[in-house]
Structure 1
Amino acid sequence: MIVITTPTGQIGRQVLDNILDTEEAIRVIARDPSRLSPRVRERVEVVPGPHNDLGVLTEALAGADSVFWVVPPDPRADSVDGHVLSFTRPLCEAVASRGVRRVVGVSTLGRGVVKNAGHLSAALAMDELIEATGVDYRALRMPGFMENMLHQVEPIRSQGVFFLAISGDRQIPTVATRDIAAAAAGLLLDGSWTGQDGVPVLGPEDLSPDDQAKIMSEVLDRPVRFQQVPAEAYKANLVRRGMSEAWAQGMADMATAIDRGAYNAEPRTPRSTTPTDFRQWCEEVLKPAVSQRS
């Protein structure tokens, strides 16, 4: 039995798609089961409710061999660490009580090198808490998602610009969520691994924001430039858009850590290199999104 959290989320939905046609028994935890497609509801067992609820988790993990674990964001949370650990603590209790064998979690790069890094630090604290249970664990260690650029479709379309709080020449990996999902599905379907380890999922290349702007300009056939935003201004803008002070501070601290090399500490290997490059992603995802909103 494989249990999937966030089955309607950006990554969880694609993980589910990757394993839906296998013969594995699948159970999902869904806060709103009505958002699941009819095909999914016919194929899987659904446990309704939030996956930070111990009762929901205890029910969902009964008889489970493997769990795909994601902590969903809450931009209005009053503490980044508190939010992440409020999900992770009941997971750990349910994993121990139900004898779950394996957990595959969505985590981050930067272990052993980052401090006070906002959302990165919270994800790494999640890993440590899960590992303390003794469960076999694979932490998917990832940089930022290419899909994060979709939050900037409007300024790209109307102004030909996108904004980040990192240097224009800082080359970092980025990854498409489809490749994260494929890596997670492979681990969930593989019953041979044991122990605890990180699995880097790095995309195929390191690009700077200036490099990304050049690629976007070519794919969109319009000029696109990058503009760096100071961390404090970046935070202030997030708060104006409705984020809590704590969540915005976590985002700013994460950006500072990335600009100092948090995403560059993991050496790229053939195993950690995933197939979807930024140009392909722009052609298949960003360009239709920009066109749709024109």
Structure 2
Amino acid sequence: MTDSPQVVTVLGATRNFFKVGHYTLRRLAADAPQLTLRLAIPEARIAGRAVSDIDVQLRDWEPTEPASLIEALAGTETMLMVPPIDRRVDVGGMYVRAAQKAGVQRIVCLGIQFARDHCTMAGEAAALETLLEKSGIAFDVVRLPMFLENILYQCQSIATAGSFTFPVDADRLFSYISCEDAAELFCRKILSPDSVDLSGTLMSHHAQATCDLWASALSQACGRPITFVRQTDEHFVTSLAKYGMHPSAAAQVLGLWGRIGAEGDAPATRTAEHLLGRPSTDLESWTTAHACCFGPEFASCPHPHPPTQHMFGPA
């Protein structure tokens, strides 16, 4: 051990930095000022604007040059790894190899809720977990359901048209978690790695929800009718393309929703609530707290929102 501050790095491949990485860095900055925090992401200075008010090192790396990622990770003790949807195994494998060469001691990796054979994305996530198992680095793959923050891509539609949409039936149950709760779990793992096991069990709110329920919660929070309209598969893929997502990645996300629609989502658990030592955030409370995100002034509300274009091209 040395007397130098522990370096915690959030590693990602896209500008999609309004969700768990953003919340994790902010929580660590508040709760553990002794840490050195780092954001390692292509065009880091663009994504880093979201955390310009806290002390975070920004490290660029070039997706076509693995050596640049090794340099960006130099000195990192713990890495929060946010693998991309597209080419998850190839890109995630590059992350793992760079972490090995940089001497990273622990990885907290975002996973999904389903087992290997349930959908294409689950198979990719399982293959990446196999690479982590072989790496020799201590790791947790955190099984996560839908983030409530995913609806923030639809702020404009809710504000102007009074509607939102997903490619699933209105009464289909899905599991969920807020990014803030997920970030708190990650921070506990980072600060006390031996006392928290985030692998295995789904980290979710203890109850599931439906889009009908969400429409009701939005209507209550906004004081006007908000409706849910089931999205066609074609429209869903097109909507993701607006954010720069590649067709193969969009197909994987659609497959995830297809699995939920056909077979049901992974059952909710109370594991997150137990580890947090408090009730996890329910959909109604989250929606009420984020009501400003769904009104005419949504663009200037204080909550993090997705950038207009946040995906990067293939390596």
Cα distance in structure 1, aligned partners of 2:237 and 2:9:
36
Unaligned regions of 5+ residues in structure 2, if any?
Answer: 1-5, 300-315
Q: Select the residue among 11, 16, 36 that pairs with 1:5.
A: 11
List aligned pairs for 1:145-160, cutoff 5 A. Answer: 145-160=147-162
| Alignment partner, residue 90 of structure 1 | 94
| Alignment partner, residue 271 of structure 1 | 274
| Alignment partner, residue 73 of structure 2 | 61
Deviation readout 1:147-184 (Å, 9 max, x if unpaired) = 11112223322332221111211111222111111111
CA RMSD of aligned residues (A): 3.1
Q: 1:67 to 1:222 in 2, by over 3 A?
A: same
Q: Relative to structure 2, which stretch is displaced further, 240-249 or 204-213?
A: 240-249
| Alignment partner, residue 34 of structure 1 | 45
Cα distance in structure 1, aligned partners of 2:35 and 2:243:
42
Deviation readout 1:52-108 (Å, 9 max, x if unpaired) = 7422332233333211111256xxxxxx3x2x2332122221222334221001111
Structure 1 residue 289 displacement after superposition: 3.7
Structure 1 residue 185 displacement after superposition: 1.2
Which AA in structure 1 matches 2:26? D
Is the 8 Å Cα contact of residues 205 and 270 (structure 2) preserved in structure 1? Answer: no
Is the 8 Å Cα contact of residues 103 and 136 (structure 1) preserved in structure 2? Answer: yes
1:281 aligns with 2:253: no
Q: Select the residue among 261, 274, 291 that pairs with 1:259.
A: 261
Q: 1:243 to 1:177 in 2, by over 3 A?
A: same
Q: 1:65 to 1:233 in 2, by over 3 A?
A: closer
Q: Relative to structure 2, which stretch is displaced further, 45-54 or 211-220?
A: 45-54
| Alignment partner, residue 77 of structure 1 | none
Cα distance in structure 1, aligned partners of 2:68 and 2:201:
28
Cα distance in structure 2, aligned partners of 1:121 and 1:140:
15
Q: TM-score, normalized by length of structure 2?
A: 0.77
Cα distance in structure 2, aligned partners of 1:115 and 1:258:
10
List aligned pairs for 1:1-294, cutoff 5 A. Answer: 1=6, 2-6=8-12, 9-10=17-18, 11-21=20-30, 22=32, 23-35=34-46, 36=48, 37-40=51-54, 43-50=55-62, 53-72=65-84, 80=86, 82=87, 84-112=88-116, 114-116=118-120, 119-192=121-194, 197-198=199-200, 200-235=202-237, 238=240, 243-261=245-263, 263-265=265-267, 267-269=269-271, 270-271=273-274, 275-293=280-298
Q: What SS class does the counterpart of residue 260 from structure 1 fall into?
A: helix
Q: 1:28 to 1:45 in 2, by over 3 A?
A: same
Cα distance in structure 1, aligned partners of 2:297 and 2:39:
32
Q: What SS class does the counterpart of residue 165 from structure 2 fall into?
A: strand
Deviation readout 1:105-135 (Å, 9 max, x if unpaired) = 111111245133xx44433333232222132
Cα distance in structure 2, aligned partners of 1:8 and 1:112:
25
Cα distance in structure 2, aligned partners of 1:38 and 1:241:
23
Cα distance in structure 2, aligned partners of 1:241 and 1:13:
19
Unaligned regions of 5+ residues in structure 1, if any?
Answer: 74-79
Q: Relative to structure 2, which stretch is displaced further, 131-140 or 198-207?
A: 198-207
Is the 8 Å Cα contact of residues 39 and 59 (structure 2) preserved in structure 1? Answer: yes
Cα distance in structure 2, aligned partners of 1:39 and 1:14:
13
Cα distance in structure 1, aligned partners of 2:16 and 2:229:
33
Q: 1:216 to 1:289 in 2, by over 3 A?
A: closer
Q: 1:173 to 1:97 in 2, by over 3 A?
A: same
